[in-house]
Amino acid sequence: MFMGEYNHTIDAKGRLIVPAKFREELGEAFVITNGNDGCLNIYTNEDWETFLEKIQALPNTKDKRIIVRKLVSQANTVEVDKQGRILIPPALREHAELKKDVVLAGAIDKIEVWDKGRWEVESDEGDIDDVAERIAELGLSM
């Protein structure tokens, strides 16, 4: 399970340090792709394979084709170098508008990678009490 929030910088070559706590669970190679709301998602290889199996099981609808085009076709396997960094491909950096300051946020089964400015806007969205009330209606209390 991924949890916690870490602030790092991305260098001019597009390299980003992955926190040691996350690297322990991810291993030396893992998958990074587009995410929701303008972030990137990092998955363990195992979780990515499970995700792909679920996509393959879906009927061949336009929504499935969009998911394949937006997530699967943009997915890249990345490897951690000796300094604990990964190289984020240019197309993914562009999608997430990653500039210099980056936030890596644990999101249970994946890690979200955000431009810090965008993260501040997104994480400020919605009052926790209001969200907790709506989630309680689904059967989950905090």
| 1-46 per-position pLDDT tens digit | 999 999 999 999 999 999 999 999 999 999 999 999 999 999 999 9
Q: Any idea what DSSP says for residue 25?
A: H
Q: What are the DSSP calls for 103-127, one per residue?
A: EEEE-BSSEEEEEHHHHHHHHTSS-
Q: Domain-by-domain residue ranges, the chain?
A: 5-116
Contacts of 78 (CB under 8 A, 6+ apart): 29, 30, 31, 32, 86, 87, 88
| pLDDT score recorded for residue 123 | 83
Segment (H or E) for 28: none
Mean pLDDT of 48-70: 95
Sign for the CA dihedral angle at 138, 111, 90, 54 comes to negative
Topology (CATH) of 5-116? Chemotaxis protein chec (3.40.1550)
Model pTM greater than 0.85?
yes
Number of C-beta neighbours around residue 6 at 10 A: 16
For residue 142, what pLDDT is reported? Answer: 64
Residue 104 has what pLDDT?
Answer: 98
Task: List, for residues 89-135, the tens digit of each pLDDT value.
Answer: 999 999 999 999 999 999 999 999 999 999 999 887 666 777 777 77
